[in-house]
Amino acid sequence: MIITGGNRGIGLAAAELLAARGLKVVLVARRREQGEAAVARLGAGAELVVGDLADRARTAALADVLGERFPDIRALVHNAGIWPSRRELNADGFEQAFFTNHLAPFLLDHLLEERLKASGSAVVRVSAGLYVKGKVDPERTPTGADFHPIRTYADTKLANLLMLPLLAERWKDAGVTVNALHPGVIRTGLGDRRGPVGLLLKAIKRTWQPPEAGGRPVARLVTDPPAASGAYFDVDKETPLEPVALDTALAERLWADASAALDVS
């Protein structure tokens, strides 16, 4: 069970639940020290892979390590995500959140595809209900030309969900399930800010649910995925995607653009 961003928040909460069931959990974390602390918390059956989803080269390097060390990938949870307050471009020229939240999972799915098929994996995409507020412009959003400190996060989650039906179709005869979920409004460090806005957000977050509440539906999709792949869940309830996430033409355009940019087929 591989969980990106598994060293804290929802990822760690899901990992704890899976480890408690005796399952082997692999945490992917950017910072070794935090990752090692999380693995120590989980105990014997957990392993750490230090990796970064910041750009194409580092994501590909992570895929190489995961593929070599873990030939039997029973589940891949795309949990890592960022919510930046300002526009920053990565080494490939993409807006950083667009790459980390959208292109990196797309690339990992493709580079690990043969492993996923061989293992009959359950792929889980941790999304956000805010996707309904997203708007993806293929000419502007990838480079952050339309960057907004609030809406861009929703844009990346929408882009990610637009891939869901296409991935389900791609893997329908391969024994791989792929599903997504909004884990709830959860109190994590995602989107934290400095200054007065940050203090206000911190106060608001005290009313939100703890990471454990978000970890439960993630762990459930890992251990008990629905028979029909391509589903979206609002916490534990399967919910139809809103029309904004069912734009087939836009989905196919984003797929083609990502395939060309990342050199995958």
Q: Which residues are catalytic?
A: 153
Q: How far apart are CA 30 and CA 51, in angstroms?
A: 5
Residue among 150, 165, 67 nearest 108 (CA): 67
Q: Tell me the three state secondary structure of residue 247.
A: coil
127, 187 in Cβ contact below 8 A? no
Distance between CA atoms of residues 262 and 259, nearest Å: 5
Task: Let me know how long the chain is.
Answer: 265
Handedness of CA 11, 16, 21, 23 (dihedral sign): positive
List the structure tokens of 1.
Answer: 């069970």
